[in-house]
């Protein structure tokens, strides 16, 4: 029976060098040829995944950890952060000397012209330090923001802003999402809207933002290189992303030969 496969990008499709291994590319293309549906599920913005969409010929994707959903090249859901609440986070971050990055579907903009924490984390995605624009977040629909702080500084954001969800993805960076937002919620929306079958869904992931997705689908696969919490929630742990772990998992699940 046809499976609906959801793939995280960083640490799952992309290896530690932020490149798509040839084994992963062949596996995904073969799985599609075998009749399985391929959907990206990432915390990245749409403008950040153009290359992988083109290389793998993918027309369905979940971005911003569920805030922006495209199915067969049609936008089926988009939900921006509450503007007033985001303004409050911005003021709080300024008081604490924490920069922010704001993202819409087309670009990301920094609250400061330059900051080393922004440089470090965004560079890890193979993107340059974002440009700075005054009042960008006040004039645009912001689907996801990033606040740059250390782990021991993160707790005060959880306490001060319970209407938001803060998910760490880097040593110095945390995603800001609406409370309750997740890749799992986006998958449920697709299932309900397009009559997909939950039992036939498979998710592949590695990070904290993949936990709900791994638990919600019919079968969750975590990469060996993933966060320990993601590994605990998966039904199956495959090899390291740098050692053809994704292709091995797809072979194990009979998606490919």
Query: Annotated catalytic sites, by residue?
Result: 8
Q: How many CB atoms lie within 10 A of CB 181?
A: 24
β-strand partners of 164:
178
Find, among 59, 36, 49, the residue nearest to 10 by Cα: 49
Strands 4-7 and 144-147: unpaired
* Cα separations in angstroms, 133 against 85, 109, 142, 201, 210: 20, 6, 14, 41, 31
162-168 own/partner pairs: CB under 8 Å, 24+ apart:
163/82, 163/85, 164/81, 164/85, 164/89, 167/43, 167/65, 167/208, 167/209, 168/208
């Amino acid at each position: 029976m046809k499976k609906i496969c959801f793939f995280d990008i960083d640490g799952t499709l992309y290896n530690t060098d932020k490149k798509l291994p040839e084994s992963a590319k062949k596996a995904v293309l073969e799985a599609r040829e075998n009749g399985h549906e391929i959907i990206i599920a990432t915390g990245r913005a749409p403008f950040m995944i153009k290359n992988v969409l083109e290389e793998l010929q993918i027309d369905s994707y979940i971005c911003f950890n569920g805030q922006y959903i495209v199915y067969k090249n049609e936008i089926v859901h988009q939900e921006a952060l509450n503007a007033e609440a985001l303004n409050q986070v911005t003021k709080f971050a300024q008081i604490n000397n924490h920069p922010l990055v704001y993202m819409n579907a087309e670009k990301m903009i920094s609250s400061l012209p330059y900051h080393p924490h922004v440089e470090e984390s965004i560079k890890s995605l193979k993107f340059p330090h974002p440009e700075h624009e005054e009042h960008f977040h006040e004039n645009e629909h912001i689907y996801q923001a990033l606040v740059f702080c250390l782990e021991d500084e993160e707790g005060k954001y959880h306490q001060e802003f319970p209407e938001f969800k803060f998910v760490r993805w880097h040593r110095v960076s945390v995603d800001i999402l609406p409370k309750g937002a997740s890749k799992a919620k986006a998958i449920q929306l697709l299932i309900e809207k397009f009559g997909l079958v939950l039992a036939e869904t498979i998710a592949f992931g590695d990070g904290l933002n993949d936990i709900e997705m791994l638990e919600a689908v019919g079968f969750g696969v975590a990469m060996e290189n993933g966060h320990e919490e993601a590994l605990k929630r998966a039904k199956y742990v495959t090899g390291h992303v740098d050692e053809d772990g994704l292709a091995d998992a797809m072979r194990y699940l009979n998606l490919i030969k």
